[in-house]
């Protein structure tokens, strides 16, 4: 399954009472579809799933699938550190009509590589849906090795990898040893262009909430051989991306999206909103980025 170049890991909007705001969620979905998003990932890290209840996760996934209505693929985050729960959630979202599932490496348990393989194998065996491997050792405390990812890619419906290890050497090893129909996506916005340059497909992005069109322009320039232009986009984006991760994700991107008119700044504890000084710095970097993009578009 090809998710395109940019899949957005969607935020979860909350109202003033801390409940999921579905009216705003619909507006965010429409904004993303209209601004450079090729696929949506719902109930991932950016969606604050550690603080969502199981009923909330299921309702949000179901809602998103219905509102998207097959215009772009919707990938449902179902992974937990409990294989039995992950299997149960997979069956539920398959019935909802999800186009694929994202399964994170089991966290806290810290399984070895054999345990990680067995976890993904068990989940993949109960569904016909494409399975996205989500490797994010900074969150889970365990790295899915290149060898394990390569082995898992031989399972027929495991053909998508979200690599958020930040390790380009590991990504290169994976890309050099999987079949051409296995797509490797960066889980780090800052590594989007470097990964595509070594054969990756694209990015599962946070920054695309606010710069999706510019990211598409960067990747289009690269595909067209205008590597100097692609590099300029990358260079302009990097300070903004770094500021979007100044605080734990999704705190900064929720602030950034609120600056575009979406009332989504509220986060659930233990997340807390950005300090005013960091908001001011983001605003400055955003203005500088806009000016740089104007120049790049003339190249």
Catalytic annotation, residues: 134, 162
* Residues facing residue 40 across a β-bridge: 8, 74
Considering only CA atoms, which of 118, 92, 93, 89 is closest in space to residue 105? Answer: 118
- In 191-237, the DSSP E strands lie at 202-205
Residue 163: C-alpha distances to residues 170, 172, 192, 218 (Å): 9, 11, 11, 20
Say if residue 103 carries a ligand binding annotation.
no
Q: How many CB atoms lie within 10 A of CB 215?
A: 28
**For residue 7, what are its two tokens?**
């899949």
> Longest C-alpha distance within the chain, in Å?
54
Integer Cα distance of 242 and 59 in angstroms: 32
The answer to whether 187 and 162 are in contact (CB under 8 A) is yes
- Residue 123 phi/psi, 5° resolution? -70, -45
Q: How many CB atoms lie within 10 A of CB 7?
A: 30
Say if residue 298 carries a ligand binding annotation.
no
- Do you know the residue count of the chain? 299
3-class state of residue 144 by DSSP: coil
The answer to whether 1 and 37 are in contact (CB under 8 A) is no
Q: How many CB atoms lie within 10 A of CB 151?
A: 18
3-class state of residue 162 by DSSP: strand
Residues tagged in the binding site annotation: 46, 204
Query: Which amino acids are annotated as binding site for pyruvate, given as ranges?
Result: 46, 204
């Amino acid at each position: 399954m090809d998710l395109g170049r940019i899949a957005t890991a969607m935020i979860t909007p909350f109202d003033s009472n801390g409940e999921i705001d579905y009216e705003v969620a619909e507006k965010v979905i429409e904004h993303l579809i209209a601004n450079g998003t090729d696929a949506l990932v719902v109930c991932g890290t950016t969606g604050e799933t550690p603080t969502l209840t199981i009923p909330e996760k299921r309702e949000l996934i179901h809602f998103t699938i219905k509102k998207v209505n097959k215009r772009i693929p919707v990938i449902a985050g179902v992974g937990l550190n409990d294989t039995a729960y992950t299997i149960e959630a997979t069956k539920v979202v398959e019935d909802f009509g999800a186009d694929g599932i994202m399964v994170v490496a089991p966290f806290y348990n810290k399984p070895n590589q054999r345990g990680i393989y067995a976890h993904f194998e068990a989940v993949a065996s109960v569904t016909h849906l494409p399975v996205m491997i989500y490797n994010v050792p900074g969150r889970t405390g365990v790295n899915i090795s290149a060898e394990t990812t390569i082995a898992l890619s031989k399972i027929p419906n495991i053909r998508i990898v979200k690599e958020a290890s930040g390790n380009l050497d590991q990504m290169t090893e994976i890309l050099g040893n999987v079949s051409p129909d296995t797509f490797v996506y960066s889980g780090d916005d800052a590594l989007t262009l470097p990964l595509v340059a070594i054969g990756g497909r694209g990015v599962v992005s946070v920054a695309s909430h606010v710069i999706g069109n510019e990211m598409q322009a960067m990747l289009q320039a690269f595909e067209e051989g205008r590597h100097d232009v692609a590099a300029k986009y990358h260079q302009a984006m990097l300070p903004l991306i770094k500021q979007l991760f100044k605080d734990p994700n999704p705190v900064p991107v929720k602030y950034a999206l609120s600056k575009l008119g979406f009332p989504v700044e509220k986060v659930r504890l233990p997340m807390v909103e950005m300090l005013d000084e960091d908001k001011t710095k983001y605003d400055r970097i955003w203005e500088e980025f806009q000016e740089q993009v104007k120049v790049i578009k003339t190249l």
